[in-house]
Amino acid sequence: MPELKRPLEGVEVVELATFIAGPCCCRYLADLGAHVIKVEAPAGDPVRYTAVNEGRPYGDAEDTTFALENTGKECVTLNTKTPAGREALEKLIARCDIFVTNWRQSPLKRAGLDFETLSAKYPKLVFGYVSGYGEKGPDKDLPGFDFTAFFARGGVMGTMYDKEARPMSPIAGFGDHQVGIYLASGIIAALYRARETGKGDQVTVSLFHTAIWDVSLYLQANQYGDPSTQYPISSRQIANQLNVAHRTADGHWVQIAMPAYDRQYAKFMPVIGREDLIDDARFYPQTNLQNNLSEFYDIVDSGIGALSLEDLEKRMKEADLPYAVCQTWQQLLKDPQAWGSDALAEVSFPNGNKRTMVRTPVIFTNTPLPPYERGPFLGEHTKTVLAGLGYSDEQIEAMIAAGEAAGEKRVG
């Protein structure tokens, strides 16, 4: 079957967003073939300056983080606080199908960039909005990052750790990337309807709501008060002891996952050499296990702890039971399945180095993989984009000289 064009070819997107969630959404839309113009302030997206946080080289010569969130876009630098810069932004919005921003509501309204104002002028516009805490409620105007709105207040850090330990060390982008993909899914649905009916809509995804959705299975279960759902919890007290990670004899943590405990118990016990427990009423069925959780934890822990990783993997595969090694990032970068499934790509940077980068996680069978290149330099496409809006060379140079726009600038 011949290759198809990418699904969003011909769709115009304007991004007025910083950091990760909004740019991630637009990077995915670009992967789908949309023409994305990223509008940056003269100082640039703050994510261009986070190298020290991530232990990587500073500057555009090898900016893996900016590439991760912004590959496939054009970058125009406008000072939207000036009349001329604001006018150029308005011209971009006027011709686009999708506008994505993560500005907080008050600045948006003051600038006339809120959905109500824009939709009155452009009824078909699809407005993608990234929020920390949502558009309603007493804390809707609080600043939000994934460390705070997602991990902390969203019920992740306060629950998902062993009770005898301390909360996890969160990593930047974890919640943002989920928000970005969720937002893209809503935007695509709204775009479809806009093309069918001529009426656009605002699509809002917040970090806070996303986290609540992510923990929702156990959040609803928590209401029933069973001790096994009152997180944080000790691993020894988890209701299904076949869903707990253990360490092998050679020091590898392995996560086993058998949610259908009663169906898989008899298959698992021989893996750890405890066939004698297959009919033990203390541990089977799962309802009986609840009075013997710590005892069974010790049995499984010692059983896995007596096996090397190689032995455990062989036995689990022969029994056709689900498990996975708890990999470090160094291991993940070399994982043959990650490479074989096109999750990873090798990208060349201006300094000549090649780095492993991650693709967005939606793969089409009959559509080619999108190109993966470095992110655009600050203002790299300002002149081209403004020329496309009808500005003459003289007008563009005058805007740059007046600080209303900026040409290409290399960071670092």
For the residues 43-68, what does the mean pLDDT come to?
Answer: 96
Give the E-state strand segments of 151-252 in sequence order. Answer: 202-206, 245-247
CATH number of the domain that residue 210 is part of? 3.40.50.10540
What is the pLDDT, as a whole number, of residue 345? 97
Q: Of 277, 294, 325, which marks where a domain is finished?
A: 325
The answer to whether residue 351 is domain-embedded is: yes
Write out pLDDT tens, residues 257-286: 999 999 999 999 999 999 999 999 999 999
Percent of the chain with pLDDT over 90: 93
For the residues 58-65, what does the mean pLDDT come to?
Answer: 96
What is the pLDDT, as a whole number, of residue 286? 97
Q: Are both 306 and 347 inside the same structural domain? A: no
What is the pLDDT, as a whole number, of residue 164? 82
For the residues 9-37, what does the mean pLDDT come to?
Answer: 98
Q: 57 is in which domain, residue-wise?
A: 12-214+343-406
Q: Residue 326 corresponds to which amino acid?
A: C
For the residues 142-151, what does the mean pLDDT come to?
Answer: 91
Domain count of the fold of the chain: 2
What is the pLDDT, as a whole number, of residue 228? 87
Asked if 262 and 284 count as a contact pair (C-beta separation under 8 A), the reply is yes
State the DSSP string of 285-319: SHHHHTTSHHHHHHHHHHHHHTS-HHHHHHHHHHT
What is the pLDDT, as a whole number, of residue 167? 87
Q: What are phi and psi of 36, to 5 degrees?
A: -105, 125
Q: Are both 95 and 152 inside the same structural domain? A: yes
What is the pLDDT, as a whole number, of residue 50? 95
Q: Are both 359 and 320 inside the same structural domain? A: no
Q: Are both 206 and 239 inside the same structural domain? A: no
Q: Are both 58 and 187 inside the same structural domain? A: yes
For the residues 68-72, what does the mean pLDDT come to?
Answer: 98
Asked if 172 and 20 count as a contact pair (C-beta separation under 8 A), the reply is yes
Can you tell me the distance from the alpha carbon of 103 to that of 280, in angstroms, rounded to the nearest whole number? 59
User: How many other CB atoms are found less than 10 A from the CB of residue 297?
Assistant: 18
CA atoms within 13 A on the CB side of 79: 16
Q: Are both 282 and 402 inside the same structural domain? A: no
* Global pTM value: 0.93
Q: Are both 309 and 350 inside the same structural domain? A: no
60, 63, 176, 301: the active-site residue: 176
What is the pLDDT, as a whole number, of residue 316? 97
What is the pLDDT, as a whole number, of residue 160? 86
Q: Are both 61 and 201 inside the same structural domain? A: yes
Q: Of 325, 354, 370, which marks where a domain is finished?
A: 325
The answer to whether residue 110 is domain-embedded is: yes
The answer to whether residue 219 is domain-embedded is: no
Residue 151 has pLDDT above 90, yes or no: yes
Write out pLDDT tens, residues 195-251: 999 999 999 999 999 999 999 999 999 999 999 889 999 999 999 999 999 999 999
Residue 1 has pLDDT above 70, yes or no: no
Q: pLDDT category, 107, cuts 50, 70, 90?
A: very high
The answer to whether residue 412 is domain-embedded is: no
State the DSSP string of 387-402: HHTT--HHHHHHHHHT
Q: Are both 320 and 347 inside the same structural domain? A: no
Q: What is the mean pLDDT of the chain?
A: 96
Q: Of 325, 351, 375, which marks where a domain is finished?
A: 325
The answer to whether residue 226 is domain-embedded is: no
What is the pLDDT, as a whole number, of residue 303? 98
Q: pLDDT category, 163, cuts 50, 70, 90?
A: confident
Whether 176 is catalytic is: yes
Write out pLDDT tens, residues 114-135: 999 999 999 999 999 999 999 8
